[in-house]
Structure 1
Amino acid sequence: MLFDNEKPIATVTINENHINRLFVLEEYQHKGYGKALLDFAEKSISVRYSEAILDASLPAKHIYL
């Protein structure tokens, strides 16, 4: 979970080598928080696994490409 002061603004879930449930509050989008969480998730997974699997909805596909 990512906080701005004490306010939660974004989250990502890591389950083994799966990345899912990446959310950023609308007013904090387009500021690099989602990318920071995705980078964190990938680095965390790379310590134990050779690949990461991203679970995302089809409408969000463009974000990850």
Structure 2
Amino acid sequence: MSFLMQLQDVEAAGRLAPFSAAFRAGEMVHLVGPNGAGKEHAADPHGGAVRRPRHGSF
């Protein structure tokens, strides 16, 4: 199966618990969680975990 983007065991210390995800072209993704949970950090392509994970692979 072909994915547009795949993340494996990505985490940001103190902000995001380790997570893995895979996305296909055209999919809509919603991040849900309480304030301060790291939703914006995970989705920010200019500085979030997606761009520079401390652990895991992108």
TM-score (norm 2): 0.27
Query: By percentage of residues, which structure has more helix?
Result: 1
Which of the pair has more CA radius of gyration?
A: 1
Higher relative contact order (CA 8 A, sep 6+): 2
